[in-house]
Structure 1
């Protein structure tokens, strides 16, 4: 222990250990309160305000206004959902909130589109994965705590130096690249090879590739928040016509999007149809949304109802299996009923079909891929020119081309959508069609 207030018996001393031991400047706080505060005050969290959630911040759109979500607002909303659900199940609420605030920190500019482009560039140095980047940011890149290296004596960053339990709770995919327990070819993983020492430390005592209970709460809270809020934004922007959800051809297209992407490929479309009908039959569903103040209030109520519906379903099913005790770490699995997962998946597919698959969005995504690819090429040719001082120093210290390429990846991943375009323009002198306000 390092001077923090003791926790309940459900979190043992190894859960609150930090990679680098340090005293608490304010005795009396719990270790997880410190973790939450460190993530909340991080520059990485603030940068999420300028990163794509569904539609790129700052793009011209008469329908899409400043109230649309960014990755920052999504993370804050995910944290609120996760904190309450976790507390209801006996988790430490600060621990779950810290994990929810952390879960998207490593995502690059332009959302998953940017993630794919960076993964192609980084193929020969370990690939790129937003969740693995989050771990790297929490344990290495975000400048908060430095210690002297035992090997060289030089100061090295240990990032935010969060507790073992916080790092574990923020890890959706607790395995390195190529070690997915069911599909070795899966692009999802939680740690780069460079970060294996701290990853292995954080996973000390974990049973194989099983995620801890708090990470499962975070993951479901993430699903709930973005499925519900993306539909809310789509309705508010006029991209989703509520009447289409009753038309059979449109419903079939929605289910095609969901199957294989949001539910297993062998899912019966009839189950998804039943899930959508259950939602449409609710008294609070925002039928005939027209943007009026009354309709906006009904939409906001529907948002609250959906979040409560999904969280209570998971809470009830989990309690039915495990009883009323505190559920933490590896003592339980979050149980989400199949019906709730299908309803959540249908909402994701609705937003995907009517918001993300719009023609203007595909044109924008193509332009974004060009920006990332050209920016990576320009930095490879010109680095350390173009690198921020933090990454310039790391580039100069890197021992080989592979390590230098990883620094370039870290630099690009840290950029907002706007700063990526600005740096691209400075290094290539070629404007792109992404636009802005």
Structure 2
């Protein structure tokens, strides 16, 4: 038994039968893997800008790592591994240049037209902007993934509202496909595959961002562990950003619990042996977190195959705290580092000016695909959304180049 119904394999736009040994879900994964949007992630910021260091992750390498973590965890629970893999590969497609910094700038610009959110933009790419398929009337259907894969890629299955002002998964003009992919879903419940993708995202980036920070010299593990003022600063930021309902003392206890693991690296000197030890630490942490979630989920639902809405992913509270602590380390020593504040401000200003320049010179200054969308747009709000779509599609480098070209 596959655990998936025929409705899970349906596509938004009907397609002719293909003579192939591949499953519908294998085809979904291939479509994401070969998409232009996935390739662009190689030049988009994860935490540190691409090109600033040969070691650090970019959005593409991060997505590949999320897919590896998610595929293995999903398979262990009984999910179709290609559904989870496709969702993990797709989960960051909608992120704009300059990472969350660019996302905040576009959200401010688009405030009066429904805002900007990377996950809502991902749905827009998968179902509209990425060229692959079309409806019989010519409307674009994006990659035209199956219902199961689209639902798995939807981290926040709800529109923007007073209850969800910042994190949401669909814009107002994409609600038709959203309604289609959520057929049979219960209110705002996420399918199990989406929960696995989301947890794999957290695991991959918290572990690998700490690894990048240590190798890059931004984080010296002993410092935050042994210097009281640093411990307090780290704990307060971690609590503010990630676990506001947890006391400072418990955050520090969790940090100390990780430190006492046999694989924890306190000192890194750049030698090959030190790098090997650090790599072992990241591997051990990923295994620790994934095995904890797998064990607790199977304890809650039994050992059978779990898919779609048959179960929720169960993650021990202590595991979630350990993940939050690692995220807090990266936030404290990389994302909020004082020497990055000026660069962040420059990036936001560039995004804002780029939108204004494109609006003033549209449609000629737009890329051909977005030029067509501009001409079909019914009003100024829709035209602004087209400009935002184009800016969001840019890489860090192409944003700089386009900005420079439009200013001359």
Larger helix proportion of the pair: 2
Aligned to 1:18: 11
User: Aligned equivalents of 1:101 and 1:214: distance in 2?
Assistant: 13
Whether 1:253 and 2:241 are equivalent positions in the alignment is: no
Aligned to 1:173: 156
TM-score by length of 1: 0.91
In the alignment, which of 124, 128, 145 is matched to residue 136 of structure 1? 124
Unmatched 5+ stretches in structure 2: none
In the alignment, which of 163, 168, 179 is matched to residue 200 of structure 1? 179
Q: What secondary structure, in the 3-state scheme, does the structure 2 residue paired with 1:146 have? A: coil
Aligned to 1:339: 318
* CA positional deviation for 1:27: 2.2
Whether 1:164 and 2:157 are equivalent positions in the alignment is: no
User: Aligned equivalents of 2:142 and 2:18: distance in 1?
Assistant: 17
* CA positional deviation for 1:185: 4.9
Q: What secondary structure, in the 3-state scheme, does the structure 1 residue paired with 2:187 have? A: coil
In the alignment, which of 87, 98, 111 is matched to residue 99 of structure 1? 87
How many residues get paired? 407
Spell out the pairing of 1:326-405 with structure 2 (5 A cutoff): 326-405=305-384
Deviations 1:61-97 (CA, angstroms, capped at 9, x unpaired): xxxx212100000000000000000000000000000
User: Aligned equivalents of 1:363 and 1:58: distance in 2?
Assistant: 18
Q: What secondary structure, in the 3-state scheme, does the structure 2 residue paired with 1:209 have? A: coil
* CA positional deviation for 1:166: 0.6
* CA positional deviation for 1:370: 0.5
- Is the contact between residue 71 and residue 104 of structure 1 (CA under 8 Å) also seen in structure 2? yes
Whether 1:124 and 2:107 are equivalent positions in the alignment is: no
Whether 1:75 and 2:63 are equivalent positions in the alignment is: yes
- Is the contact between residue 145 and residue 159 of structure 1 (CA under 8 Å) also seen in structure 2? yes
* CA positional deviation for 1:176: 0.6
User: Aligned equivalents of 1:310 and 1:36: distance in 2?
Assistant: 25
In the alignment, which of 392, 395, 402 is matched to residue 416 of structure 1? 395
User: Aligned equivalents of 2:376 and 2:316: distance in 1?
Assistant: 50
* CA positional deviation for 1:148: 2.5
- Greater shift after overlay, 17-26 or 251-260? 17-26
Q: What secondary structure, in the 3-state scheme, does the structure 2 residue paired with 1:259 have? A: helix
Deviations 1:140-182 (CA, angstroms, capped at 9, x unpaired): 0000012232xxxxx2210000000111000010001116xxx
Deviating beyond 4 angstroms after TM superposition, the runs of 4 or more aligned structure 1 residues are none
Change (3 A) 1:316 1:185: closer
- Is the contact between residue 14 and residue 135 of structure 2 (CA under 8 Å) also seen in structure 1? no
Spell out the pairing of 1:237-316 with structure 2 (5 A cutoff): 237-244=216-223, 245-263=225-243, 265-316=244-295
User: Aligned equivalents of 2:240 and 2:334: distance in 1?
Assistant: 19
User: Aligned equivalents of 2:164 and 2:15: distance in 1?
Assistant: 40
Change (3 A) 1:185 1:142: closer
- Greater shift after overlay, 23-32 or 232-241? 23-32
Change (3 A) 1:225 1:411: same
Q: What secondary structure, in the 3-state scheme, does the structure 1 residue paired with 2:241 have? A: coil
TM-score by length of 2: 0.98
Aligned to 1:109: 97
* CA positional deviation for 1:246: 2.4
- Is the contact between residue 386 and residue 423 of structure 1 (CA under 8 Å) also seen in structure 2? no
* CA positional deviation for 1:24: 4.5
User: Aligned equivalents of 1:19 and 1:227: distance in 2?
Assistant: 35
* CA positional deviation for 1:249: 1.6
